[in-house]
Chain A
Amino acid sequence: MTTLGPTGFLALSSALLGIGLFGILTRRNFVLLLISIEIATNAAILNFVYFAAFAPSAPLGISGQSIAVVLVGFAATEVAVGLAIVLALNRAKGTINVAEVTELKS
């Protein structure tokens, strides 16, 4: 039986969300953007896990862990799609030799 104070967890997850948002707003490298998004997603997963741990009753809490399991799978899928897009973009730019990075305005 572990006992813990719950306040620290929300501080941690809000800090992670803040770091992720900071990264999404300032980084321009695609891999860094992916990592920022993953850090923020992990904050949400962490939330679900500890709200499950501190839930008032077991039936209420267990679905929090279920959600966390599903979210872990979803986040990995999302990363795979992102990398597929960036690989295709990398190749398209490479083959037709476009110097500039952005063609769409703004």
Chain B
Amino acid sequence: MSLPEIAFALLAAVAVVTAIAALLVRELVHTILWVAVFFVDLAAIYFLLEAPFLGVLQLGVYAGAVTILLLFGVMVTRKRIFSREAATGIGPVAVALALLTVVFVGTGLGELPQGEVTIRAYDPSTLSVNLFGPNGAWLLLLGLIMLAAVSGAIFLVREGRE
């Protein structure tokens, strides 16, 4: 195995373990910690895939902002609504369904080119030309989504007089 392959295997193992741990630990604050590790780990995978811009974005948005938001949500809603206890009756069904998904998607594996492939690197300027040029409509739509989300979220949490 080459060095990048070993690195990827390690990072992938960490991603799977942290994702499972985040959903299984008893204490919600620990969950957030595991999720933070998961997000940082994914950022490392993006760097490995020579997508440094996405790696930085992952660190800033996911490992930074989303983690803080989740932590905030845990603090504010703690033990007020939603049972803490995790499992419900459909545990085995869910596990089976999840495994089935993995198997299904895994069958696509055989289609990919086997063996080692050179990773295509894009420098951030090419990315930005694409993002603001031919595919600019995606960013416009994202902006509209954020407009709706921000105005709605402010409305929902504002302490207004009725």
Contact = CB atoms under 8 A, between A and B. Distances in A.
Q: Is this pair of chains taken from one and the same complex?
A: yes
Interface of A: 1-23, 25-32, 34-36, 38-39, 42, 46, 49-50, 52-55, 58, 61-63, 65-70, 72-81, 83-91, 93-94, 101
Contacts of A94: 80
A51 B83 CA distance: 39
Nearest to B35: A35
A55 to B, nearest CB: 6
A73 to B, nearest CB: 5
13 contacts: A3-B116, A9-B8, A11-B12, A14-B104, A17-B105, A18-B98, A21-B98, A25-B98, A26-B94, A31-B70, A62-B130, A76-B62, A101-B82
Interface of B: 2, 4-5, 8-9, 12, 15-16, 19-20, 22-23, 28, 31, 35, 38-39, 42, 45-46, 48-51, 53-54, 57-58, 61-62, 65-66, 69-70, 72-74, 76-77, 80-88, 90-91, 93-95, 97-99, 101-102, 104-106, 108-109, 112-122, 126-127, 130-131, 134-135, 138-139, 141-142, 145-146, 149-150, 152-154, 156-157
A65 B122 contact: yes
Given A77-B149, A79-B70, A30 B77 contact: yes
B120 A77 contact: no
B115 to A, nearest CB: 6
Contact of B81 (A11, A58, A63, A101): A101
A49 B98 contact: no
A80 to B, nearest CB: 6
A16 B16 contact: yes
Contact of B94 (A4, A25, A79): A25
Contacts of A49: 46, 49, 51, 54
Contacts of A62: 122, 126-127, 130
Contacts of B117: 3-6, 54
